[in-house]
Amino acid sequence: MLVGQQQRLQDDIRALVERFGRKRSALIPVLQELQNAHTTISDFAMQVVADELSIHPAEVYGVTSFYAFLRQESRGRFVFRLCGTISCELSGKSRVARQLENDLGIRFGETTADGRFGLEWASCLGMCDQGPALLVNDRVYTGVTPEHVHAIIDECKSTFGAHAREAVHS
Amino acid sequence: MTPVNSKKTPFTFESVEPESGLRAALGMSRADIIGEVGACNLRGRGGAGFPTGTKWNLAAAAKVKAGGTKYVVCNADEGEPGTFKDRVILSDHADMVFEGMTIGARAIGATVGILYLRSEYVYLRPHLEQVLERRRAGNLLGQDIGGLAGFSFDIHLHMGAGAYVCGEETALIESLEGHRGEPRNRPPFPVDTGFEGQPTVVNNVETFAWVVCVLSRGAHWFKSIGTEKSTGYKLFSVSGDCREPGVYEFPLGITVGELLEKVGGQGAKAVQIGGASGHCVPASEFGRRIAFEDLSTGGSIIVLGPGRDMLAVARNFMEFFVEESCGQCTPCRAGNAKLLGGVEMLQRGECSMNYLQELLALCETMQLASKCGLGQSSPNAFVSIVKHFKDEIMGRTLAH
Ligand SMILES: Cc1cc2nc3c(=O)[nH]c(=O)nc-3n(C[C@H](O)[C@H](O)[C@H](O)COP(=O)(O)O)c2cc1C
Ligand code: SF4
Ligand code: FES
């Protein structure tokens, strides 16, 4: 990482700690916001967060690795999370999964080489009456069919340019 | 591709006058508020069915530790597979949930409220923040609420980060405090030693909304609905093989068969009641009641149609638990993995009756020895599928 980038990350973390408070209960909100801005929580970031909150880096690592929505490896600008749970299975998630792999050109647990798209399974998204359900960053799609997949990817691509920062969430 | 409204029946929440519950509560003593909530026999809508009045009474009696405050926490982690009614309540009746939390704060003497929202629902956040802002502006939150001198209470949101186990109230508190969502030993209970070690009431989203209705209409009204042990209405999240999946309000005590008729699920082969941690009920038992004394549920109803492969269903549930176990204790961590392996053996037609018996004995161990409700209930679906569908799951050939 370049010195300038490190500096920016450090500044971001300090600002977040200011905002959420220098206390243990601020840890997860800080990590979430950090990930929103930087798509991932790096070793360096974990070290800085630990210093700022006066806790051991292993604690920060322990928390980051525990939660499905916190991650150390980037899953790209747009994280696709397909619900793998029962009601979506009953409504056909397997075929949507296959088409997502085909159209993104990656498997579940992978990120595209250009760093734009990541693909993961999710547990029940609370849209069980309208499955299969798919979460893309903060946005939820329901009743997804294999045919829809291409349009959803296109929608992401069109928001990528000017609004990329805005679109990066979760 | 865009979500549609899930509501399939009117909700009582629509016909209760806004803030009428809070207004009534502000004119009552703390003891009387708790008395009313106790008298109506409201039991928690999150799944476990603990009497709300009893919980509030314990928290009201508990002492605050040096310099702290009591807390009211709304559990909006809604992670049980097949459950989505809290999402609908938060979308359409957020004011009522916050109103119920405010009544809870008055009853137990809390000054801080927290709504723990699952990260999958982050798109609800702007709406919820807006509602909170409006309530502050209307003196429904903040200082001297509703003109009652000395009654101060405010609510903030806290986002989850993707862990089903954080719906368990002690894991939720761990998560709020910035830790891994690993359930604590109980006792001590949150009503005594909760968030930051202080007395804390944790209730489900729907529970808070019903509190408002009870304060507005009276305990006798609520008690007149449902069964003796399961009073009132309940929201049901219905999904799977039926014509009209969605959220329904029915009185507790409704039979599985009656419910299937209302949702267009006639002819079902089985119904999973209570989500992945619930029980699979075969057609021969559709006369049973959905109530705390018979088939208990936080609201998840998954209809399984005639053609469904019960082993595929069991496998999906076991995969869910293997993924979501926090790994803290062995019966759950190792047990769920072993059960998943067992389901896969059954699918390949390679499971002897002896081994199946061994797995069922393991299930008993898990139910008894797991530390929290996740491990204690994770074998339920497997056990009930084995019990009711032995004929279908034994001696499979690969062609199946
Ligand atoms: C693994 C597990 C997950 C749970 N998930 C939820 C949940 O998402 N929402 C909820 O309200 N209660 C959930 N509960 C139950 C809570 O521990 C707690 O009983 C409940 O929030 C109390 O509120 P109530 O009495 O109003 O139902 C869960 C319990 C377990 C063991
Ligand atoms: S039963 Fe499972 S989820 Fe609960 S504490 Fe043990 S390992 Fe964690
Ligand atoms: S099972 Fe997929 S959203 Fe609930």
Ligand approaching nearest to the C-alpha of B240 = 3
What are B173's two structure tokens?
Answer: 């508190």
Q: Within a 10 A sphere around the Cβ of B252, how many other Cβ atoms? A: 24
Number of domains in chain A: 2
Atom 4, ligand 2: which residue's CA is nearest?
B372
Say if the Cβ atoms of B82 and A139 lie within 8 Å. Answer: no
Give A116 to chain B, closest Cα distance, Å.
Answer: 21
Does residue A93 share a domain with residue A38?
no
Say if A86 falls within a structural domain: yes
The predicted structure's pLDDT at residue A166 = 40
Quick one: pLDDT at residue B400?
Answer: 53
- How far apart CA B20 and CA B16 sit, in angstroms, is 8
User: Could you tell me if B71 lies within 8 Å of chain A, comparing CB atoms?
Assistant: no
Q: Do B179 and A63 touch (CB under 8 A)?
A: yes
**Which residue type occupies A163?**
H
**B81 to A87: CB separation less than 8 angstroms, yes or no:** yes
For residue B248, what are its two tokens? Answer: 């329904």
What pLDDT was estimated at residue A3?
79
Please tell me the residue having the least CA distance from ligand 2 atom 8: B326
* A149 CA from centroid of ligand 1 (Å): 34
Return the CATH number of the domain spanning residue range B12-223. Answer: 3.40.50.11540
Residues in contact with ligand 2 by the CB-under-6-Å rule are: B 165, 183, 325-329, 332-333, 370-372, 374-375
Provide the sign of the torsion angle of the four alpha carbons B2, B3, B9, B14, taken in this order. negative
Specify the fold of B233-304. Answer: Ubiquitin-like (UB roll) (3.10.20)
Whether chain A has a CB inside 8 Å of the CB on B4: the answer is: yes
Contact B210, B40 (CB under 8 A): no
CA distances for A109 relative to A62, A137, B227, B327, angstroms: 20, 15, 48, 21
Q: Write down the residue that tokens 């106790």 correspond to.
A: B38
Does ligand 3 come within 6 angstroms of the Cβ of A133?
A: yes
Predicted ipTM? 0.95
* Beta pairing partners, B183: none
Please name the residue ranges forming H helices in chain B.
12-15, 20-26, 30-39, 52-61, 85-92, 94-108, 125-137, 169-176, 205-217, 219-223, 256-263, 310-324, 330-348, 353-369, 373-377, 380-388, 390-393
**Do A49 and A114 belong together in one domain?**
no
pLDDT tens by residue, chain B, 400 residues: 889 999 999 999 999 999 999 999 999 999 999 999 999 999 999 999 999 999 999 999 999 999 899 999 999 999 999 999 999 999 999 999 999 999 999 999 999 999 999 999 999 999 999 999 999 999 999 999 999 999 999 999 999 999 999 999 999 999 999 999 999 999 999 999 999 999 999 999 999 999 999 999 999 999 999 999 999 999 999 999 999 999 999 999 999 999 999 999 999 999 999 999 999 999 999 999 999 999 999 999 999 999 999 999 999 999 999 999 999 999 999 999 999 999 999 999 999 999 999 999 999 999 999 999 999 999 999 999 999 999 999 988 765 5
Contact assignment for A126 to B276 by CB distance below 8 Å: no
pLDDT by residue, tens only, chain A of 170 residues: 677 888 999 999 999 999 999 999 999 999 999 999 988 899 999 999 999 999 999 999 999 999 999 998 888 999 999 999 999 999 999 999 999 999 999 999 999 999 999 999 999 999 999 999 999 999 999 999 999 999 999 999 988 653 444 433 33
Query: What is the pLDDT, as a whole number, of residue A170?
Result: 33
| Ligand 1 centroid from CA A91, angstroms | 26
CATH number for the segment(s) B310-393: 1.20.1440.230
Domain boundaries, chain B: 12-223, 233-304, 310-393
Answer whether A144 contacts ligand 3 (Cβ < 6 A).
no
Yes or no: say if A70 and B163 are a contact pair by the CB < 8 Å rule: no
How far apart are alpha carbons A91 and B318 in whole angstroms? 19
**Protein residue with least CA distance to atom 29, ligand 1:** B168
Distance of CA B105 to the CA centre of its chain: 21
Lining ligand 1 with CB less than 6 A are B 44-48, 50, 75, 77-80, 165, 167-169, 202-204, 207, 372-374
Cβ distance of A69 and B276 shorter than 8 Å? no
pLDDT at A5: 85
Q: Identify the domain containing residue A86 by its residue range.
A: 78-167
Beta carbons of B330 and A133 less than 8 angstroms apart:
no
Question: In whole angstroms, what is the distance from residue B393 CA to residue B349 CA?
Answer: 8
**CATH number of the domain encompassing residue A101:** 3.40.30.10
Chain A, chain B: beta-carbon pairs less than 8 Å apart: 140
Centre of ligand 2 to C-alpha B43, Å, is 24
Q: What is the pLDDT of residue A2?
A: 75
- Last residue of some domain: A12, A39, A66? A66
Atom of ligand 2 nearest to the CA of B332: 2
Ligand 3 in reach of A86 Cβ (< 6 A): yes
Q: Do domains B12-223 and B233-304 have the same CATH topology?
A: no
Cβ-Cβ contacts under 8 Å, B319 against chain A = 84
Question: By the 8 A CB rule, do B76 and B90 touch?
Answer: yes
In a domain, A72, yes or no: no
